[in-house]
């Protein structure tokens, strides 16, 4: 049979086209997942920055941080992964057992802790714990806000 009389694609041509489409689709999905994770992390950072500004304003007006996020109208605010942000007033707790701690087990903040538990929804007070590595946190009394893995 000559080539002019034949219409359509051969099986090999069809499989090659499907393989190319599959490769391109897998690259797009991987790129989208990475982009989505970066956007969610950035959103959590922006939420923590906004809450920190409100908490700092409350502290300058009242001389101490509030006991809860309800005092600044942020009670129940959820991070991009659906978990509530965690706030601890460090000026009213006895000892530093509840405070977030760095790699040397020194508290990250002296006024208050504010963080998101990150994508896994789990956390521990020490940043050395595996469950804390993906947390988005405030450290150095607000001079650092970002992923615990970068602190």
Task: Return the CATH number at 110.
Answer: 3.30.700
Q: Is there a domain that residue 50 lies in?
A: yes
Q: Which structural domain range is residue 140 located in?
A: 42-150
Q: Give the global pTM.
A: 0.77
Q: Is there a domain that residue 31 lies in?
A: no
What's the mean pLDDT in 73-91?
A: 93
Q: Collapse the DSSP code of 91 into the 3-class scheme (helix H, G, I; strand E, B; otherwise coil) and give the result.
A: coil
Choose between 70 and 97: higher pLDDT: 70
Per the structure, the count of domains in the chain is: 1
Burial code (b: 16+ CB inside 10 Å, e: under 16) for 33-67 equals eeeeeeebbeebbebbeebbebbbeeeeeeeebbe
Q: Is there a domain that residue 68 lies in?
A: yes
Q: What is the pLDDT of residue 5?
A: 56
Q: Is there a domain that residue 132 lies in?
A: yes
C-alpha–C-alpha distance, residues 59 and 101, integer Å: 22
Percent of the chain with pLDDT over 70: 94
Q: What is the pLDDT of residue 3?
A: 56
What six digits make up the tokens of 105?
A: 């087990």
Q: Is there a domain that residue 2 lies in?
A: no
Q: Is there a domain that residue 95 lies in?
A: yes
What's the mean pLDDT in 33-62?
A: 93
Q: Is there a domain that residue 143 lies in?
A: yes
Q: Is there a domain that residue 107 lies in?
A: yes
Burial code (b: 16+ CB inside 10 Å, e: under 16) for 102-141 equals eeeeebbbebbbbbbbbbeeebebebeeeebbbbbbbbee
C-alpha–C-alpha distance, residues 17 and 40, integer Å: 35
Distances (CA, A) of 151 to 1, 60, 124, 132, 140: 70, 27, 15, 11, 10
Q: What is the pLDDT of residue 61?
A: 94
Torsion, Cα of 94, 97, 103, 108 (10° steps): -40
Length of the chain: 151
pLDDT band at 4 (very low <50, low <70, confident <90, very high): low
Percent of the chain with pLDDT over 90: 64
pLDDT band at 26 (very low <50, low <70, confident <90, very high): confident
């Amino acid at each position: 049979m000559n080539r002019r009389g034949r219409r359509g694609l051969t099986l090999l041509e069809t499989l090659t086209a499907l393989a190319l489409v599959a490769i391109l689709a897998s690259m797009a999905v991987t790129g989208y997942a990475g982009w989505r994770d970066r956007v969610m992390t950035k959103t959590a950072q922006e939420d923590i920055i906004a809450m920190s500004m409100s908490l700092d304003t409350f502290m300058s007006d009242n001389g101490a941080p509030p006991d809860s996020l309800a005092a600044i109208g942020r009670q129940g605010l959820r991070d991009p992964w659906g978990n509530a942000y965690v706030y601890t007033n460090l000026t009213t707790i006895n000892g530093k057992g509840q405070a977030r701690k760095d790699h040397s087990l020194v508290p990250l903040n002296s006024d208050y802790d504010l963080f998101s538990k990150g994508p896994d929804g789990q956390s521990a007070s020490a940043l050395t714990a595996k469950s804390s590595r993906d947390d988005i946190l405030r450290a150095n009394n607000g001079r650092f806000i970002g992923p615990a893995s970068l602190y």
